[in-house]
Chain A
């Protein structure tokens, strides 16, 4: 498995520990089996930056966003982008008629499938593995796997954008917006640009760089960045706010107007009405 796949084991380790808390934000019975061999080692290596609490809060936020969006919109086509060792297909309840596509590296998908098979774990929703590299022409692979570009879609990009460059992140969001009709949705998390340059985060960021999985992109203006790439934010929260780990997040929530603050963003967005005027795109960029 490549380096990004080890980060999938790391977040699985976080979910395993959360599963074992009596006040856990969610249950994930499979996570401990999916975190091997390196997840717990990386958890130790990257501790101290609030990342474990963030992954727990993010997982629950996205679980809730799933349920809400599928119920409210009637969307039944879901694409999980580079979701690693995430097993929402196995642990969440899904509306009848839903199909989930999981886009990730082939070796990772095979490994996850093999481990889940050993546990006799069955998905609760029809699930199509799409073995593709998000840096390549993954959309064509997705379409040939049965994805319907005319059908409204819920895209999930969890713990993904900070591993990309700003240009790659923007292009990915453009691709998502262009690959589905109006009324589609996106759930995504991002980090603030300030987090990437803050002196207190440098030892954590250095370890990620040393491990070949640097965080490269963050924005202090998530509304503006998403709007420039075809998405309108419907819900934006910071960890610790109501609906995003309030009562569990062990830190105060920094006010939005405070500058230079390391933050994380939890976001639900919808496709912008199209076609949008080109002059507007220029202004937003």
Chain B
């Protein structure tokens, strides 16, 4: 695995795949919540990871769930630019 050059979105995908050994890929538009790739308890760690990789502070109380529902949405909202 490439260490320093792995794009943040791929690190997020890698985190999901590490928790779901039966999966080999996650599509950019796949609903992570409906498909139970992220559940209410892993969600906290998931949001901390996005926060860490993006440098954007995320308030759990005001977070719009739509912003983290797919890898594409995460890319657009937190990792673009």
Contacts and interface: CB of A to CB of B under 8 A. Distances in A.
Contact of B41 (A194, A199, A258, A262): A262
B58 to A, nearest CB: 10
B56 interface: no
A252 B43 CA distance: 10
Contacts of B38: 200
A198 B45 contact: no
Interface residues of B, number: 15
Contact of B40 (A204, A250, A258): A204
B40 A50 contact: yes
Interface in B27-66: 33, 36, 38-45, 59-61, 63, 65
Nearest to A200: B40
B59 A198 contact: no
A49 B41 contact: yes
B14 to A, nearest CB: 16
A260 B39 contact: no
Nearest to A252: B45
Contact of B44 (A199, A204, A250, A261): A261
The SS class assigned to the A binding surface is loop
Contacts of B44: 251-252, 254, 258, 261-262
A259 interface: yes
Interface in A234-254: 250-252, 254
Interface in A12-68: 48-50
A259 B43 CA distance: 13
A48 B36 CA distance: 7
Interface residues of A, number: 19
A201 B40 contact: yes
B36 to A, nearest CB: 5
B42 A199 contact: no
A49 B40 contact: yes
A259 B36 CA distance: 23
B41 A259 contact: no
Given A259-B59, A260-B61, A262-B41, 18 more contacts: A48-B40, A49-B39, A49-B40, A49-B41, A50-B39, A194-B60, A194-B61, A198-B40, A200-B65, A250-B42, A251-B44, A251-B45, A252-B45, A259-B61, A260-B59, A261-B60, A262-B40, A262-B43
Interface of A: 48-50, 194-195, 198-201, 204, 250-252, 254, 258-262
Interface of B: 33, 36, 38-45, 59-61, 63, 65
23 contacts: A48-B39, A49-B39, A49-B41, A50-B39, A198-B40, A198-B60, A199-B65, A200-B33, A200-B39, A200-B40, A204-B40, A250-B42, A251-B42, A251-B45, A252-B44, A258-B44, A258-B60, A259-B60, A259-B61, A260-B60, A261-B60, A262-B41, A262-B44
